[in-house]
Structure 1
Amino acid sequence: MEGDSKLQKLLTGVKTAKDAEEEELSLVKRVWNESKVMWIVAGPAIFTRFSTFGINVISQAFVGHIGSRELAAFALVFTVLIRFANGVLLGMAGALATLCGQAYGAKEYGMMGVYLQRSWIVSFLVALVLLPVFIFTTPILTLLGQEESIAQVAGTISLLMIPVMFSFIVSFTCQQFLQSQSKNNIIAFMAAFSLTIHVILSWLLTIKYKFGIVGALSSTSLAFWIPNIGQLIFVTCGWCPETWKGFSFLAFKDLWPIFKLSLSSGAMLALELWYNTILVLLTGNMENAEVEIDALSICLNINGWEMMISLGFLAAASVRVANELGKGSSKSAKFSVAVSVLTSFTIGFVLFLFFLFFREKLAYIFTKNQDVVNAVGDLSPLLAVSILLNSVQPVLSGVALGAGWQSTVAYVNLGCYYIIGLPVGIVLGNVFHWQVKGIWIGMLFGTLVQTIVLVIITYRTDWEEQVTIARNRVNRWSKVEPDHISDN
């Protein structure tokens, strides 16, 4: 106990000296230094998410040229089922952002590879639970009120997308593992390579050889798996010597604590990502559903492009906060939050103005249907507001991941999105007959309330206390020394 007390005093002294040194720097210099460190993570993360999201957009573009019904079915599967699975599995992998980020900051490298393997096991079990949703897509969508013809095509698409769902297990966990070490350049490289292959294969299988839906989605599945192979090779074959010590039987021990933290992370991010899913489902019950779904899916895809920037800053914020808390530097953690949020908001504001100006012109990238184009133009102001709000809120979620606040933010998301935003949207859309615009306005209101609440929570946080919590977490989860990890 005396040794622990001395160690704590020593850590506190180091932290104070580091913070004092940083305070002597000018504000501009501090912002510049933090921005450089932040962009090491954010730059590759944004590029990777652009490339990955580009796979969806390219697939949608080729499917849209097959037929309007196929495009509507594709929009349902990707915006509902894939987003559903994405939310769950990305959220489950979010536990690694806390564990690996703080462990890396504290220089406790030995257990990071074991954390990764435990996350693989937990995520695989969850994916098995999600599998029936993909198998029984047609009856589920029919039960939810979707048109029979669209539900039938969606059922075929969902079966072809099962490999994509399982690809998320490796993709999200390896990304969190590598990002915590600022080694995500390999992720960006593999994503770019995969996107290039996808464009070529999609053209060959869909346009040249006319394999239709099967050709387009076979290329999509391959595009999602190519980066995973590269990431696995990078992690396990010697490029992470400090943090990967080989496959270990320790991965099968203490799974319950990993599952609980993963469940909190999953609830936090899934509740957030499913929000737009419900928007699409409710639109499917509106008049002229096919045009409304097509227009909304185009708007959500455009919004998704901007969201990739925010998710890049989410990754950067989670890594920076976790690393600094692990190091014991509360002031640096707090300052990294401010820089990440302000940088993301500035970019979001520029894009807000951009999409207000271009409106429906961007719809021609996805469709030639004039009714759909007009509907997109009508929704464009709401799209611009969504982009502005999404430039802040995901970054604050990244702060929560880095600090380990998943449970708290999950309750905030549940209340703001589903108790406030969703009912308001349903009333505006159905009672006041504002259709999809009413639903979207209500859900934007929920996002606004959630953003305000997260800003207040972040502002009032005692970062010194967060350093202590992070230190206790690292000590508790790193009981096993690296020498005890078996290479298999």
Structure 2
Amino acid sequence: MDNNLQERLLPENKGALTKRVYDESKKVWRVALPGLISRVSSFGTIVVTQSFIGHVSSIDLAGYALVQTLLVRFVNGALIGMSSATETLCGQAFGAKQYHMMGIFLQRSWLVDLVTLTILLPLFLFGTAMFKLLGQDYAIAESAGTIALWFIPFSYALVFSLTIQMYLQAQQKNLIVAYLSVLQIGVHVPLSWVFVSVFGWGVSGAMAALSISSWVVVLGEFLYIFGGWCPDSWTGFTTAALKDIFPVVKLSIASGLMICLEMWYYAILVLVAGYMKNAEVAISAFSICLNINAWEFMICLGVLGAAIVRVANELGRGDAKAVKFSIKVILSTSTLIGLVFWILCLVFGNKLGYLFTDDEEVAKSVADLSILLAFSVLFNSIYPVFSGVAVGAGMQATVAVINIVCFYIIGLPVGLLLGYVGHLQVKGLWIGMICGVVAETFALSFMMWRTNWDEEVLKASTRLRKWYLKSPEEANRKSDEA
């Protein structure tokens, strides 16, 4: 009797589980797919620009690689990190149905990010002097200094595009960002071709096209928000954005430190590559592989964004079980994506370098790194999910400590030892990088396993109550009652 009952219930249980996975996957991809398209398209403009510059001159390719992988990654990491507080707060506010607070959080993030970028502006203004001071090749440093100036308007566009995307993503309205990002790369590619190949403007033409196309997204996002497509979450500019700004700055700094420690890790490795034999080839090859790695990472960031939104939303609603189930579904999805790209890198590794350069030596160096690149993209699909969960729950400070240990105490020293002492050069640096990523993956996995999600629900509730401000409708209602 009991056996028959179990047999009847087992298919039903499987069916119920399948439906739960299907429903959760729909929620995940509703956020992840537009985010994925947006990030791949946005990063695609950087890669396309690198490709155009690579066919102008090898010196300029190395200069661009140095700026994009070192300076821009440094600044971009700071902006993404400082903006990730917006994801935490907007996601939890949306889950708790405090919709009007989302617009206030967005305006606070604009203030924080604009001040942050302005403080970091000297890095672009004095790029040549800085790279020379760091001992980089004179010709590469000169080229990098000129290219750095072109990245200033691009970086200011990031302040708005990043924060608005996080704001829209939290309320599951980021499909418009995907459309705008596709429009961005649709404008960028022909514009780059006209400026570089037709007008012959070289590096300046490629960088001008990048700046113009980056602002296409921002203008479109402004039109969407101010045009009335976010009536619940955007009620106009308000001085309330200045209230409680310091607690937001504190959370933003923790977020910024967490993301920066990840992104600066790769930037430092590129800087170190510049001190190796045949620096021009080393920097170019390492940067090309990092950009391929980062392009696949943009796909994982789409899933990471979904992890942030789903965890933050469910914590805001107060459902700890839904949080845990969502993490399992997202992690499985992201791992499958990583496996696909792992196979592609193994199969086409020998051809990847020729997409970015005609230099045989650089292309061969890229091919030598292809197997290591394949394993990097595989691990890229795992640890970002846990980082996304941490951002959604507001655990950025803890992850920042883990990043320091895994990347800077484990990964970087291993890479330096293998690269210089072991004479493996760039390959040694990459092996060290993988060691850091593997350590990060296991550390974050253990942290997630030990997390008490019921306690995190209480923390989210406390945070939202602390920063809650009455909506205009509530204020008017209280005034009428009085």
Instruction: Mark yes or no: TM-score above 0.5.
Output: yes
Query: In 2, Cα distance between the equivalents of 1:182 and 1:99?
Result: 14
Which residue of structure 2 aligns with residue 61 of structure 1? 51
Counterpart amino acid of residue 441 in structure 2: T
Alignment partner, residue 9 of structure 1 = none
TM-score by length of 1: 0.93
Letter paired with 1:376: V
Match of 1:267 in 2: 257
CA deviation digits over 1:204-258, x for unaligned, max 9? 1100010111111011001111101111111122100000110001112221111
Match of 1:33 among 17, 20, 23: 23
Residues 352, 367 of structure 2: 8 Å contact kept: no
Equivalences, count: 465
Unaligned runs of 5+ in 2: 1-11, 477-482
1:238 to 209, 214, 228: 228
- 3-state SS of 1:63 partner: helix
Distance 1:116 1:240, change over 3 A: same
Which structure 1 residue ranges, 5 or more long, are not aligned?
1-21
Structure 2 counterparts to residues 122-161 of structure 1, below 5 A: 122-161=112-151
Paired letter, 2:393: A
Displacement after TM superposition at 1:56 (Å)? 0.6
The answer as to whether partners of 1:268 and 1:410 remain within 8 angstroms in 2 is yes
1:173-208 Cα deviation digits (max 9, x unpaired): 101100000000110011111111111110111000
Q: How far apart, CA to CA, are the structure 1 residues paired with 2:371 and 2:83?
A: 34
Q: Contact (CA 8 Å) 2:55, 2:358: kept in 1 or not?
A: no
Matches within 5 A, 1:215-364: 215-364=205-354
- 8 A Cα contact 1:250 1:485, kept in partner: no
Query: How far 1:308 moved relative to its partner?
Result: 1.0
Quote the Cα distance in structure 2 between the aligned partners of 1:359 and 1:203: 27
**Secondary structure in structure 2 of the residue aligned to 1:238:** helix
2:425 corresponds to which residue?
435
Shift of 1:25: 6.5
Distance 1:79 1:354 in 2: 24
1:408 aligns with 2:394: no
What is the rounded CA distance, in whole Å, between the counterparts of 2:425 and 2:65 in structure 1? 19
Equivalent AA in structure 2 for residue 69 of structure 1: I
Residue identity opposite 1:363 in structure 2? G
CA RMSD of aligned residues (A): 1.5
Letter of the aligned partner of 1:155 in structure 2?
G
Query: Structure 2-normalised TM-score?
Result: 0.94
Q: Deviations over 1:73-124 (max 9, x none)?
A: 0111111111111100011000011100001001011211111101100111
Contact 1:53 1:305 in 2 (8 A): yes
Q: Matches of 1:201 and 1:422 in 2, distance apart?
A: 39
Task: Tell me the percent identity.
Answer: 49
CA contact (8 A) 1:91 1:266 kept: yes
- Following the alignment from structure 2 to structure 1, what is the Cα–Cα distance between the partners of residues 448 and 155? 33
SS of residue paired to 2:136: coil
* Paired position in structure 2 for 1:17: none
Partner of 1:198: 188
- Partner amino acid for 1:60? Q
Matching residue of 2:365: 375
CA distance in 1, matches of 2:338, 2:391: 21
Equivalent position of 2:384 in the other structure: 394
Contact conserved, 1:73 with 1:154, CA < 8 A, in 2? yes
> Structure 2 CA distance, aligned partners of 1:129 and 1:413?
24
Q: CA deviation at 1:155?
A: 0.3
Query: 1:265, 1:401 within 8 Å by CA — same for their partners in 2?
Result: yes
Partners of 2:122 and 2:414 lie apart in 1 by: 31
* Distance change in 2, residues 1:485/1:294 (3 Å): farther
Query: Compared with structure 1, are the counterparts of its residues 24 and 424 closer, same or farther at alpha carbon in structure 2 (3 Å cutoff)?
Result: closer
- The Cα shift of 1:485 comes to 8.3
Q: Is 1:71 the counterpart of 2:56 in the alignment?
A: no
Correspondence for 1:11: none
* Cα deviation, residue 434, structure 1: 1.2
The secondary structure found in structure 2 opposite 1:113 is: helix
Contact 1:79 1:280 in 2 (8 A): yes
Shift in Å, 1:23: 8.8
SS of the aligned residue for 1:367 comes to: coil
Specify whether residues 24 and 362 from structure 1 end up closer, same or farther in structure 2 by C-alpha distance, changes over 3 A only. closer
Q: Is the 8 A contact 1:175 1:184 kept in 2?
A: yes
Q: 1:167 aligns with which of 149, 157, 175?
A: 157
Q: Which runs of 4+ in 1 moved over 6 A?
A: 22-25
Deviation at 1:358, TM superposition (A): 1.3
